[in-house]
Chains A and B, each alone.
Chain A
Amino acid sequence: MEILVLNGIVNGLIVGGIYALIGMSLTLLYGVLRIVNFAHGEFVIGGSFLAYALFSNLGLAPLFSLPVAALSFFAMGWGAYYLLLPRLQKSDDPEIMSFLMMYGVSIALAAVMLLIFEADSRSIDYSFTPISMKVGPIYVSTARIVAFGIVIVLAAALTWFLFRTLPGKALRATIMNPEAIKIVGVDVVKLSAFAFALASAIAGVTGVLVALVFPAFNPFSGAEYSIIGFIVVVLGGLGNPLGALLAGILYGLAEQLATVFLPQAMAPIVGFGILVAVILIRPTGLMGWRAQR
């Protein structure tokens, strides 16, 4: 039992790190643009398929797919911003209409992946040597440890960027007070495009890590990651990147420990239940932080 619990904790941290990255990019997007990206899960799975395609066609190891994913998703996000968003801001209720639009994007992206890769579950047949390592009394796959290392580096880099650099501070300022930032003379359109691109890039990179950590993925797994992203974002407080980091890890731990104590099928119910409970009882998130509107 103790081994199981320990296993749950270690895997919870690793999986939670992935969830944290999904949540951080999603919450950044919401904070800056007031867009709830329903298609975020498809962005993530898109990254997984990119790694899959690069590995099976060019033999490129997943680690080398990371920069490719980052750059291509950044460019894609930048383009998508200018294609989709300016028109949306003119609508009566941009927030809910963006939700609906990204719903459409999510359906379309899943369909594209379905057309290219078909409905079967895929996994990248790549393994590190040694295949697994001993952490204390338990064995953890090397791929998971590597992925966790990358998660830590990325989360730290993102935090540093948001709190220590000028563009990062501008992003945070936009989250806190979108009106004031216009007055100060920041080019909000460019900043928003950058936020969209950055969030897409993080999602793409997270997708590569998903391919390393989780056994398989298919064109329809995106929806699950979107939902997990929503849970994490709401737990952490909408628009709060550090909250999302913490909430992601907590949720990963909760989910993995739930599989130790509860039947497998109950885990998603626990997740949905947490989401509903948090919104109904404490809509500002666990840290009591809410983006100003």
Chain B
Amino acid sequence: MPPESSGAGRSIERASADRIYYTLAAVIGGTVGIYFLVVPVLDLNIAFHFYLMLWITMASAFNVAAGFSGYMPFGFVAFYGVGAFTTAILVKSLGFPVLLALPFSGVAGVILGLLFAPTLRLSGIYFAIVSLALAGICRLVISNMPDHITGGSFGLQLGSRAEPVHSFYVMMAVMLLALGTILWLSRSRLGKALRAVRDDAEAADMMGVNVTRVRLYGWLIAAFFPAVCGGVEAWYTNVVDTETAFNTLTTAKTVIYAVAGGLGTVTGPIVGSVVMVWLDELIWRQFPLLNLLILGVATVMLVLFLPRGIVGTILRRRPEWRRYIP
């Protein structure tokens, strides 16, 4: 009798699959962690790596909405922008220390997520369009607030000393927290419930899944991290203005990096961000003028030729690896 077909054999096989999965997760997490840890020590390009971590975090959080829950929030930048302004206003107007202000950015993201929660009953294109419109509303509301709060069109100077290395390490902590959360989510019961709801919400409901609650939890996770990213970036650049904080290109890049890697896996958005940010950097240096054009063309090519992303395509070729790759 082959060991596969007995209960005991199956549980041994399961344990070894889990071991491979977690070993891979530890290796990837360790590599990423050590690599970024030594960037400032070895005096590598801090700006490049700061933004690489930012995009990994953004794309991973977007993945919770798009890959796990099946929503395409084309107004994802709303969370980022509101997070940036929360930190900036708290530091500038109320004199908060930055590290204390950052958690409030996350809270602001979650509150915004709660405000947007009624849109979760929409799906597909309706959700995408409404999300886009809500991001527009957020930008307009903030840019119409009194200048002494938001700094008006000149932007808001945080006024604290810029500390690139400190903000670099804080960004790293945020990224690791995000990756840890998503690694947990992908294996957790909440993650399974989210995927079931994504695939067929009505059926999941009849199978006993509290669809509204599950969707909300997933949505709030996806809202939290971009808001914190916005706060950290505000600290890093020391200035916030509505045009850059709510720039639709932020959403565009997040979506593109996440899709390039492949939605629905933990590694997808990491791989996508690393590849695309690196390509972006190469292109930017060579042809700064063509950057926008190439971003657009890359998006089209991606949709046409690699709609499942890098990791998604590999897993389609090798379905048996799904159990081992986080």
Contact = CB atoms under 8 A, between A and B. Distances in A.
Q: Do A and B have CB atoms closer than 8 angstroms in the complex?
A: yes
Contact of B303 (A97, A108, A231, A269): A97
Contacts of B118: 280
Contacts of B296: 104-111
A105 B297 CA distance: 7
A96 B298 contact: no
Interface stretch (B31-39, B82-90, B123-131, B225-233): B123-131
A109 B255 CA distance: 19
Contacts of B124: 93, 95-96
A194 interface: no
A193 to B, nearest CB: 17
B222 to A, nearest CB: 16
B299 A99 contact: no
Interface stretch (A1-9, A166-174, A201-209, A271-279): A271-279
A184 interface: no
A108 B293 contact: yes
Contacts of A104: 256, 295-300, 302-303
A275 B292 contact: no
Interface stretch (A84-92, A144-152, A242-250): A84-92
B252 A283 contact: no
Interface in A247-293: 265-266, 268-269, 272-273, 275-276, 279-280, 283
B299 A100 contact: yes
B132 interface: yes
B125 A269 contact: no
Given A230-B129, A276-B137, A107 B299 contact: yes
Contacts of A88: 303-304
A93 B127 CA distance: 14
B29 interface: no
Contacts of A97: 303, 307
B126 A279 contact: yes
B193 interface: no
A99 B256 CA distance: 12
Contacts of B126: 234, 279, 283
- Interface residues of A, dominant DSSP: helix
A114 B122 CA distance: 35
A124 interface: no
A265 B252 contact: no
Nearest to A86: B304
B299 A280 contact: no
B259 interface: yes
B293 A115 contact: yes
A100 B304 contact: no
Contacts of A107: 249, 252, 292-293, 295-296, 299
B303 A110 contact: no
Given A88-B303, A101-B303, A104-B299, A280 B122 contact: yes
A279 B252 contact: no
A281 B196 CA distance: 26
Contacts of A91: 303, 307
Contacts of A98: 303
Nearest to A230: B129
A101 B128 CA distance: 14
Nearest to A226: B132
Contacts of A106: 296
Contact of B248 (A96, A100, A223): A223
Contacts of A55: none
B118 to A, nearest CB: 6
B289 interface: yes
Contacts of B303: 88, 91, 97-98, 100-101, 104
Given A101-B299, A114-B292, A234 B252 contact: no
A103 interface: yes
A115 B119 CA distance: 38
Nearest to B291: A111
Interface string B238-259: 0000000000110010011001
Contacts of B72: 96, 99-100
B133 A275 contact: yes
A102 B118 CA distance: 27
B107 to A, nearest CB: 23
A91 B299 CA distance: 15
A265 B293 contact: no
A107 B300 CA distance: 10
A281 to B, nearest CB: 10
A54 B184 CA distance: 59
Nearest to B66: A96
A45 to B, nearest CB: 15
B141 interface: yes
Given A93-B124, A101-B300, A269-B141, 13 more contacts: A91-B307, A105-B296, A107-B252, A107-B299, A108-B292, A108-B295, A111-B292, A269-B137, A269-B140, A275-B130, A279-B126, A279-B130, A280-B130
Interface of A: 36, 84, 87-88, 91-93, 95-101, 103-112, 114-115, 223, 227, 230-231, 234, 265-266, 268-269, 272-273, 275-276, 279-280, 283
8 contacts: A95-B124, A100-B255, A104-B303, A108-B295, A108-B297, A234-B126, A275-B133, A276-B119
